Structure 1
Amino acid sequence: MPSNICPECNQKDTSYNWCKPCNLKHFQNDFNNWTSGNAKVDKFIQDAQLNANNYWRVIEWIPYDRFKDVKQIGKGGFGTIHYARWIDGYIDKWDIENQQWKRYYKDQEVALKKFDNFVNFNDMEIHYKTYASFTGSSSIRFYGITQDPETHSYMMVLEYVADGNLREYLKINFNNINWKRKLFNLYNLSERLMNIHKLDIVHQNFHPGNILSSNFKDTYSIYISDFGLSKLIGENQNNPEKKNIVSVLPYITPEVLSSDEKDTKAAMYIHLELLLTK
């Protein structure tokens, strides 16, 4: 529970060092000072900022020139991942004295995720919304959106995870992890999945390559990623704009392949598969 008093309005903070009513005004006052060049992208980011209950929920439009040391480090079914250093770092709290946002971790390591099979922002919106809903809890931290100046593709700015994904980690470390640690990690993943299902969202692409961590030895730093196939429960699956399935076939649930209505119980199909993963 928040216990600090906001120095601006003298009311209790909404969360630690975060006063939502005051920060809402600061974000609003800054809306005319930036744009992505796309009204829908701007609206998405602005709505997220106005609804942020803490600094973990804040996302921004980040110009591409605010990154350095950009290099490709991976490629998957949905797109490419680049490593970069974010010159400015993320928003932490409002600096009353200097009347600007105070930022942490300048030159912060981040991952830039570009979607090769999604044409425009509309295609990626459910992906963005899901990340924004879970950033810092069930999924890795979502810092904002940028745009590749050469291809004009939108890119997600995400937390960089040093240990990478579970599939690659287990190839090297499987025999070094005892069963107590494995079961703790599976229990933690179950909670992450449950948080996603509480929002009536099914992942549909849950496999070891989409389980990430900065430190797999720390149960609480394991996150779920890649919501490219995720859908709202009950959503019409006969959408004419539905994209081809791009995923890892052994881990796609049967109802995704058959285009039947999704059910959260199907996620347990994948969760049981993970027990057998090496």
Structure 2
Amino acid sequence: MDQSNAEKLYGRCVECKQINTGENWCQTCNSRRLQQNFNNWTSGNNDVDKFIQNIQLSARNKYQLLEWIPYDRFSKVKYVAKGEFGKIYKAIWNHHGLISHWDVCKSQWKKIASYVKIIDDNSLNHFVEFYGVSQDPKTKDYILVMQYARSLQYWIGMREGIYGKPYEFNWHLKLKDGINILSSLANGLERIHEEGLIHRNLHMGNLELKIAKNSIYGVLPYLAPEILREKPYTKESNIYNFGIIMYEVISNIPPYYHEVKHNEHLSLKICEELRPRFNIKVPQLILHLIKRYLDANPLSRLNVRELSKILHDWLNELKKHTKNKTELTKIKLIKQIEESEKINNSSSATNNLSLTNITCSKAFKQ
């Protein structure tokens, strides 16, 4: 962002008069204040201290800030699930809470209490905001403190009801929440790609707080055909990953749940254009978008900016219609949702709308 746009967006610091680097955030002044506080906290580990300090000094806004958070600042700590690399808890971060900005009038940090998710492992998730690092006083394990993914947790709760129970359709509610989740994930993926990075393990197991026992058989269903052919990971392969995730969020069914076993036979079939099947009526706009993500030709897939914009626009239109609920706010997507809802509610038959009709160039069947 150039200086003129930054000044219009963030204004100038009331203290040093320099252009703010973020909303209510001056990197020059705040890094100085944070540095002056280095002697007032320690993790007990010099390497961890330096890691947090370096991040604090380079933070250009509150979202890039990490803090050392004493464990006694958490209340209502509740176990959520066990992930692949550690246990997951949720808690209230109170007493001081999350730094929002510097209150010039009171000469102190403005802080807010926050609902957080704490994970005792050493892996990073690019789709939720990280707040800081803590340590379990009993086990001495270090803890990553991150934003509580409330909407994702809500969707998971809805999803868990489908196994062994009739599916209950509420498309206005479910789809709005689903698109909200997908829009957030797309924004996170866009930030990763803007940094010139590629996510090499993008699947629901890295996104969920809890995974149903029968929901996933490894990450094979999420891999793009070119990756299965041992081609290098690319941004385009991330778009394919996202397409499978979108399928799962929309359908509430794991990919290839009723297909072949998840082994080399599935790998071969994916390379031969097999794609997950919907057992519900899905709006054509959504179906078409997923097909674009899952195109066998990586160069035919949407880029992450296009992906993010489409979902953002859909979310805004759904919010607008939910608020007004008039015929004037019914865009094409909403009309298709209503049509799909009627069909899904009036028929118990499986529609089996297949994604296997995606055209694939022979060049990508090597």
Q: TM-score, normalised by structure 1?
A: 0.68
Equivalent position of 1:163 in the other structure: 151
The whole-number CA distance in structure 2 between the counterparts of 1:74 and 1:211 is 13
Question: Could you say what secondary structure the match of 1:163 adopts?
Answer: helix
Match of 1:45 among 46, 52, 55: 52
For 1:1-278, list aligned pairs within 5 A: 1-87=8-94, 88-105=96-113, 108-115=114-121, 124=122, 127-128=123-124, 139-165=127-153, 166-172=155-161, 175-177=169-171, 181=176, 186=182, 189-211=185-207, 248-251=218-221, 253=223, 261-277=232-248, 278=252
Which shows bigger deviation, 143-152 or 202-211? 202-211
Q: 1:71 to 1:184 in 2, by over 3 A?
A: closer
Contact 1:61 1:145 in 2 (8 A): yes
Which has more radius of gyration? 2
**CA offset digits 1:195-223 (Å, max 9, x no partner):** 312323332332234446xxxxxxxxxxx
Secondary structure in 1 aligned to 2:239? Answer: helix
Amino acid paired to 2:148: Y
Aligned amino acid, residue 139 of structure 2: T
Does the Cα contact within 8 Å between 1:206 and 1:251 map onto a contact in 2? no
Q: CA deviation at 1:258?
A: 9.2
d(CA) in 1 for partners of 2:134, 2:157:
28
* Residues 267 and 32 of structure 1: CA distance in aligned 2, closer, same or farther (over 3 Å): same
Deviations 1:21-52 (A, max 9, x none): 11111011111111111122111111111111
- Shift in Å at residue 171 of structure 1? 4.2
Percent identity (aligned)? 35
How much does 1:191 deviate? 4.6
Moved more, 44-53 or 87-96: 87-96
**Contact 2:10/2:24, CA 8 A, preserved across alignment:** no
TM-superposed CA distance for 1:63, in Å, is 0.8
- Give 1:109 deviation, angstroms: 1.5
Higher mean alpha-carbon deviation, 37-46 vs 268-277, is at: 268-277
Aligned amino acid, residue 157 of structure 1 = V
Alpha-carbon separation, structure 2, partners of 1:63 and 1:71: 17
Q: CA offsets per residue over residues 42-94 of structure 1, 9 Å max, x none?
A: 11111111111111221100011111221211112121111111122111122
Displacement of 1:159 in angstroms is 1.1
Q: Secondary structure at the match of 1:201?
A: coil
- Conserved in 2, the CA contact under 8 Å of 1:204 and 1:256? no
Question: TM-score normalized by structure 2?
Answer: 0.53
Distance 1:77 1:258, change over 3 A: farther
- Whichever structure has more strand as a proportion of its residues is 1
Which AA in structure 2 matches 1:163? S
Q: Which residue does the alignment assign to 2:298?
A: none
Letter in 1 for 2:135: Q
Instruction: Classify the secondary structure of the residue corresponding to 2:72.
Output: helix
Cα separation, partners in 2 of 1:183 and 1:161, compared to 1, 3 Å: closer
Question: Counterpart of 1:70 in structure 2: which amino acid?
Answer: V
- Which consecutive unaligned segments of at least 5 residues does structure 2 have? 1-7, 162-166, 210-216, 253-366
| Count of residues paired in the alignment | 225
Could you say which residue in structure 2 is the equivalent of 1:217?
none
Q: Which residue of 2 aligns with 1:219?
A: none
- Structure 1 CA distance, aligned partners of 2:91 and 2:181? 28
